[in-house]
Protein backbone atom coordinates (compact mmCIF):
# COMPACT_ATOMS: atom_id res chain seq x y z
CA UNK A 1 0.00 0.00 0.00
CA UNK A 2 1.30 3.54 -0.72
CA UNK A 3 3.25 5.11 2.16
CA UNK A 4 1.43 7.69 4.31
CA UNK A 5 2.34 11.34 3.90
CA UNK A 6 4.57 12.87 6.61
CA UNK A 7 2.73 14.34 9.57
CA UNK A 8 3.64 17.57 11.25
CA UNK A 9 6.18 19.99 9.89
CA UNK A 10 3.46 21.95 8.15
CA UNK A 11 1.93 18.89 6.50
CA UNK A 12 -1.22 19.18 8.56
CA UNK A 13 -3.66 16.48 9.52
CA UNK A 14 -3.00 12.89 10.36
CA UNK A 15 -2.05 9.99 8.18
CA UNK A 16 -5.00 7.62 7.68
CA UNK A 17 -4.60 4.11 9.04
CA UNK A 18 -3.82 1.47 6.43
CA UNK A 19 -7.00 0.27 4.72
CA UNK A 20 -8.30 -3.24 5.09
CA UNK A 21 -8.14 -5.11 1.82
CA UNK A 22 -8.42 -6.14 -0.78
CA UNK A 23 -11.51 -7.82 0.63
CA UNK A 24 -10.79 -10.98 -1.34
CA UNK A 25 -7.60 -11.44 0.68
CA UNK A 26 -9.69 -11.92 3.82
CA UNK A 27 -12.15 -14.48 2.43
CA UNK A 28 -11.54 -18.20 2.22
CA UNK A 29 -13.91 -20.63 0.54
CA UNK A 30 -14.42 -23.81 2.52
CA UNK A 31 -13.30 -26.90 0.65
CA UNK A 32 -16.70 -28.59 0.83
CA UNK A 33 -18.20 -25.67 -1.12
CA UNK A 34 -15.56 -25.51 -3.86
CA UNK A 35 -18.14 -26.46 -6.50
CA UNK A 36 -20.12 -23.31 -5.61
CA UNK A 37 -17.20 -20.87 -6.05
CA UNK A 38 -18.74 -19.02 -9.00
CA UNK A 39 -21.94 -18.34 -7.05
CA UNK A 40 -20.02 -17.23 -3.96
CA UNK A 41 -17.83 -14.84 -5.96
CA UNK A 42 -20.89 -13.32 -7.62
CA UNK A 43 -22.72 -12.89 -4.31
CA UNK A 44 -19.67 -11.12 -2.83
CA UNK A 45 -19.52 -8.56 -5.60
CA UNK A 46 -17.37 -10.26 -8.21
CA UNK A 47 -14.17 -8.45 -9.20
CA UNK A 48 -15.26 -5.02 -7.83
CA UNK A 49 -16.08 -6.57 -4.47
CA UNK A 50 -13.01 -8.77 -4.12
CA UNK A 51 -10.62 -5.99 -5.17
CA UNK A 52 -12.19 -3.34 -2.92
CA UNK A 53 -10.43 -1.77 0.05
CA UNK A 54 -12.10 -0.52 3.23
CA UNK A 55 -11.63 2.85 4.95
CA UNK A 56 -12.93 3.44 8.48
CA UNK A 57 -14.50 6.85 7.78
CA UNK A 58 -15.29 9.31 5.00
CA UNK A 59 -12.29 11.39 6.06
CA UNK A 60 -10.02 8.36 5.78
CA UNK A 61 -11.51 7.58 2.38
CA UNK A 62 -10.69 11.08 1.09
CA UNK A 63 -7.12 10.86 2.37
CA UNK A 64 -6.66 7.41 0.87
CA UNK A 65 -7.89 8.63 -2.50
CA UNK A 66 -5.33 11.43 -2.41
CA UNK A 67 -2.59 8.93 -1.52
CA UNK A 68 -3.62 6.65 -4.35
CA UNK A 69 -3.59 9.48 -6.88
CA UNK A 70 -0.08 10.46 -5.76
CA UNK A 71 1.62 7.15 -5.03
CA UNK A 72 -0.38 4.40 -6.77
CA UNK A 73 -2.39 5.82 -9.70
CA UNK A 74 -2.99 2.34 -11.08
CA UNK A 75 -5.32 1.76 -8.12
CA UNK A 76 -7.52 4.79 -8.92
CA UNK A 77 -10.30 2.59 -10.29
CA UNK A 78 -10.40 0.31 -7.24
CA UNK A 79 -13.50 0.68 -5.08
CA UNK A 80 -13.11 2.01 -1.54
CA UNK A 81 -15.89 1.11 0.88
CA UNK A 82 -16.48 3.07 4.08
CA UNK A 83 -17.04 0.77 7.03
CA UNK A 84 -16.19 1.89 10.54
CA UNK A 85 -14.32 -0.39 12.90
CA UNK A 86 -16.66 -2.17 15.27
CA UNK A 87 -17.52 -5.63 16.53
CA UNK A 88 -18.50 -8.24 13.98
CA UNK A 89 -22.17 -7.98 13.03
CA UNK A 90 -24.55 -10.83 13.75
CA UNK A 91 -26.44 -11.75 10.57
CA UNK A 92 -30.21 -12.07 10.72
CA UNK A 93 -31.55 -15.64 10.91
CA UNK A 94 -32.16 -17.18 7.51
CA UNK A 95 -35.76 -17.64 6.36
CA UNK A 96 -34.55 -20.83 4.65
CA UNK A 97 -32.46 -22.54 7.36
CA UNK A 98 -32.45 -25.82 5.43
CA UNK A 99 -30.46 -24.24 2.56
CA UNK A 100 -26.80 -23.27 2.88
CA UNK A 101 -25.91 -19.60 2.51
CA UNK A 102 -22.79 -17.85 1.25
CA UNK A 103 -21.86 -17.19 4.88
CA UNK A 104 -21.90 -20.94 5.51
CA UNK A 105 -19.46 -21.42 2.63
CA UNK A 106 -16.77 -18.90 3.57
CA UNK A 107 -14.52 -17.85 6.41
CA UNK A 108 -13.73 -14.13 6.77
CA UNK A 109 -10.69 -13.39 8.94
CA UNK A 110 -11.30 -9.66 9.52
CA UNK A 111 -14.29 -8.11 11.30
CA UNK A 112 -14.26 -4.92 9.23
CA UNK A 113 -14.22 -6.94 6.01
CA UNK A 114 -17.04 -9.16 7.30
CA UNK A 115 -19.20 -6.15 8.19
CA UNK A 116 -18.51 -4.47 4.84
CA UNK A 117 -19.58 -7.62 3.01
CA UNK A 118 -22.85 -7.65 4.96
CA UNK A 119 -23.49 -3.96 4.27
CA UNK A 120 -22.56 -3.80 0.58
CA UNK A 121 -23.01 -7.27 -0.93
CA UNK A 122 -25.09 -10.45 -0.52
CA UNK A 123 -23.32 -12.88 1.83
CA UNK A 124 -26.66 -13.94 3.32
CA UNK A 125 -27.82 -15.18 -0.09
CA UNK A 126 -28.56 -18.87 -0.50
CA UNK A 127 -26.38 -21.29 -2.46
CA UNK A 128 -28.24 -23.70 -4.71
CA UNK A 129 -27.37 -26.16 -7.43
CA UNK A 130 -29.34 -24.66 -10.30
CA UNK A 131 -32.72 -23.87 -11.77
CA UNK A 132 -34.39 -27.01 -10.37
CA UNK A 133 -33.52 -25.91 -6.82
CA UNK A 134 -34.70 -22.38 -7.60
CA UNK A 135 -38.07 -23.68 -8.74
CA UNK A 136 -38.50 -25.56 -5.46
CA UNK A 137 -37.78 -22.34 -3.55
CA UNK A 138 -40.22 -20.39 -5.73
CA UNK A 139 -42.97 -22.83 -4.71
CA UNK A 140 -42.52 -21.93 -1.03
CA UNK A 141 -43.42 -18.28 -1.74
CA UNK A 142 -40.96 -17.13 0.93
CA UNK A 143 -38.71 -14.29 -0.31
CA UNK A 144 -35.13 -15.24 -1.07
CA UNK A 145 -32.03 -14.39 -3.07
CA UNK A 146 -29.86 -17.29 -4.24
CA UNK A 147 -26.85 -17.92 -6.47
CA UNK A 148 -26.26 -21.21 -8.21
CA UNK A 149 -23.12 -23.11 -9.18
CA UNK A 150 -22.95 -21.23 -12.51
CA UNK A 151 -23.13 -17.80 -10.89
CA UNK A 152 -26.77 -17.24 -11.89
CA UNK A 153 -28.94 -15.20 -9.54
CA UNK A 154 -32.45 -16.34 -8.58
CA UNK A 155 -34.81 -14.36 -6.40
CA UNK A 156 -38.38 -14.00 -5.18
CA UNK A 157 -39.58 -10.56 -4.09
CA UNK A 158 -43.27 -10.27 -3.42
CA UNK A 159 -44.93 -11.75 -6.50
CA UNK A 160 -41.85 -11.25 -8.69
CA UNK A 161 -39.72 -14.30 -9.31
CA UNK A 162 -36.74 -14.17 -11.65
CA UNK A 163 -33.50 -15.82 -12.72
CA UNK A 164 -30.72 -13.84 -14.35
CA UNK A 165 -27.04 -14.16 -15.18
CA UNK A 166 -25.26 -11.50 -13.15
CA UNK A 167 -21.73 -12.86 -12.84
CA UNK A 168 -19.23 -15.23 -14.35
CA UNK A 169 -20.24 -18.79 -15.25
CA UNK A 170 -16.95 -20.00 -13.78
CA UNK A 171 -14.96 -19.04 -10.68
CA UNK A 172 -12.09 -16.63 -11.25
CA UNK A 173 -10.09 -17.22 -8.08
CA UNK A 174 -11.09 -13.91 -6.50
CA UNK A 175 -10.89 -15.12 -2.92
CA UNK A 176 -7.52 -14.79 -1.17
CA UNK A 177 -6.58 -12.20 -3.81
CA UNK A 178 -3.74 -9.94 -2.60
CA UNK A 179 -2.74 -6.41 -3.67
CA UNK A 180 -0.37 -7.72 -6.34
CA UNK A 181 -3.22 -9.70 -7.88
CA UNK A 182 -5.41 -6.59 -7.86
CA UNK A 183 -2.74 -4.61 -9.74
CA UNK A 184 -2.30 -7.45 -12.23
CA UNK A 185 -6.05 -7.68 -12.72
CA UNK A 186 -6.34 -3.94 -13.30
CA UNK A 187 -3.60 -4.09 -15.92
CA UNK A 188 -5.36 -6.97 -17.68
CA UNK A 189 -8.70 -5.15 -17.63
CA UNK A 190 -7.07 -2.00 -19.00
CA UNK A 191 -5.36 -3.96 -21.77
CA UNK A 192 -8.64 -5.66 -22.67
CA UNK A 193 -10.46 -2.32 -22.76
CA UNK A 194 -7.78 -0.81 -25.01
CA UNK A 195 -7.91 -3.81 -27.35
CA UNK A 196 -11.71 -3.57 -27.54
CA UNK A 197 -11.52 0.16 -28.26
CA UNK A 198 -8.92 -0.41 -30.98
CA UNK A 199 -11.07 -3.09 -32.60
CA UNK A 200 -14.13 -0.83 -32.50
CA UNK A 201 -12.11 1.97 -34.14
CA UNK A 202 -11.01 -0.37 -36.93
CA UNK A 203 -14.57 -1.49 -37.59
CA UNK A 204 -15.95 2.05 -37.59
pTM for this entry: 0.79
3-state secondary structure (DSSP) of residue 127 = strand
Q: Taking residues 92-111, what's their average pLDDT?
A: 94
Classify 146 as helix, strand or coil: strand
Q: Examine the pLDDT at 4 and tell me if it is beyond 90.
A: no
Q: Which residues contact 31 (CB under 8 A, 6 or more apart)?
A: none
Per-residue pLDDT, 13: 56
Question: In terms of Cα–Cα distance, which of 32, 73, 98, 52 is closest to 190?
Answer: 73
The pLDDT score that the predictor gives to residue 69 is 85
| pLDDT tens column, 22-37 | 899 999 999 999 999 9
What is the average pLDDT across 186-190?
A: 68
Around Cβ 129, how many Cβ atoms within 10 Å? 14
pLDDT digits (tens, 9 = 90+) for 107-158: 999 999 999 999 999 999 999 999 999 999 999 999 999 999 888 999 999 8
Phi, psi of 188 (to 5 degrees): -65, -40
Banded model confidence at residue 98, pLDDT cuts 50, 70, 90: very high
The DSSP call for residue 101 is B
Confidence at 14, pLDDT banded by 50, 70, 90 = low
Q: Give the dihedral sign, CA 175/178/179/185.
A: negative
DSSP state of 164: E
Q: Count CB-CB contacts under 10 A for residue 92.
A: 8
Amino acid sequence: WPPPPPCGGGGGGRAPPPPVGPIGAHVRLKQEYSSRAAGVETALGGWPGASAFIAASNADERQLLRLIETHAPKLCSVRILVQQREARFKPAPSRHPDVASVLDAVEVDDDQAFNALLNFYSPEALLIGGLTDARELFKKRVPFVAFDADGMKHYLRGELEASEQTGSHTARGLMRMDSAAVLSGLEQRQAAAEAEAAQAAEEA
